[in-house]
Amino acid sequence: MRKDFIDVYDLVLDRWGVDSQNRMCIEEMSELTKELCKLERYKGSDKEDGIIDNICEELADVINMVEQLERYYGEEKIESIRKSKIDRLMNNHFSD
């Protein structure tokens, strides 16, 4: 999580509440999904660069929303779960 954004995340959560931010996260994830689908459709065309720019913008939106929700639901708990999932990935797919 970007530590320099924590105060902003707290301010946003206090202002609009977690229910609103949950819905906003869903909206942002939907916009990212749409752009990723477009990339598959237009790969290799003259639209590809613009779509990649859109993907970068939507990724930034999703990351900001996810970090807000991480702040609300519990950073330590989520980090612990992430670590166990990364460990499992490494053990199942990259160990000899």
Q: Which tokens sit at 30?
A: 């939907």
Could you state, in chain order, the average pLDDT of each consecutive group of 10 residues for the chain (96 residues)? 94 98 98 98 97 98 98 97 97 90
Q: Which pLDDT belongs to residue 96?
A: 75
Task: Determine the pLDDT at residue 93.
Answer: 95
pLDDT at 1: 86
| Residue indicated by tokens 């320099």 | 4
Backbone angles phi, psi at 44, to 5 degrees: 85, -5
Q: Where are the domains of the chain?
A: 3-93
pLDDT of residue 72: 97
19 φ/ψ angles, rounded to the nearest 5 degrees? -60, -45
For position 95, what pLDDT does the model report? 83
Alpha-carbon distance 29 to 65, whole Å?
9
